[in-house]
């Protein structure tokens, strides 16, 4: 095992188990998670997912999302979109081929919620855009969101529940 693989493996062992995530989620609903917008900046690599109501990780979905290098990039950007200050990019890829959805988001409340929308889809190969199209913005009440549950004190991992009820865990890349 290389030193890079060993470091990655040791980071995985420091992630909270599903029961701990559920406790953190209950606490975040009552007291808030304390997650602030500036701590979200960066590239978050997908690690694990749990379907709604399940205590065991969805092994197949987690494996596929890791295999396809699923990631979530969040970047605070001020300017013309002050009501939606986060740029959000959700992507999957294999090798040099990447499918990416980009848009805007914001934080609301103390848990907080991260409602967002995508306004563009792009397919690229080796950083060269092959195809890109705008996406219609959904109505506000139909937009997806993440309820941010917890973040490691060192900002190494992030846990959130999506609008569809699934629980996700990311590792800061």
CA torsion through residues 62, 157, 108, 39, sign = negative
95 domain residue, yes or no: yes
59 domain residue, yes or no: yes
Contact 171, 11 (CB under 8 A): yes
**Dist CA 107 CA 109 (whole Å):** 7
Q: Is the pLDDT of residue 107 over 90?
A: yes
24 domain residue, yes or no: yes
- What letter does residue 14 receive in the DSSP assignment? T
Contacts of 32 (CB under 8 A, 6+ apart): 109, 110, 111, 112
CATH value at residue 36? 2.40.128
5 domain residue, yes or no: no
153-164 average pLDDT score: 95
132 domain residue, yes or no: yes
Q: Is the pTM of this model over 0.85?
A: yes
Q: How many domains does the chain have?
A: 1
Range of the domain at 93: 18-172
145-167 average pLDDT score: 96
What is the rounded average pLDDT for all residues in the chain? 90
3 domain residue, yes or no: no
Tens of pLDDT, residues 82-94: 678 999 999 999 9
Tens of pLDDT, residues 39-61: 999 999 999 999 998 989 999 99
């Amino acid at each position: 095992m290389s030193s890079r693989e060993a470091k990655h493996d040791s980071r995985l062992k420091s992630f909270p188990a599903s029961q701990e995530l559920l406790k953190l989620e209950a606490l975040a609903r009552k007291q808030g998670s304390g997650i602030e917008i500036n701590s979200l900046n960066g590239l978050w690599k997908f690690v694990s997912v749990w379907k709604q109501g399940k205590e065991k990780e969805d092994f197949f979905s987690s494996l596929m999302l890791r295999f396809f290098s699923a990631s979530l990039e969040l970047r605070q950007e001020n300017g013309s979109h002050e009501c939606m200050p986060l740029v959000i990019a959700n992507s999957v890829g294999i090798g040099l081929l990447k499918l990416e959805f980009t848009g805007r988001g914001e934080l609301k409340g103390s848990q907080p919620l991260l409602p967002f929308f995508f306004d563009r889809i792009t397919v690229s190969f080796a950083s060269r855009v092959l195809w890109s199209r705008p996406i219609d913005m959904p109505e506000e009440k139909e937009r997806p969101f993440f309820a941010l549950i917890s973040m490691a004190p060192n900002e190494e991992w992030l846990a959130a529940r999506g609008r569809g009820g699934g629980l996700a865990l990311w590792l800061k890349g």
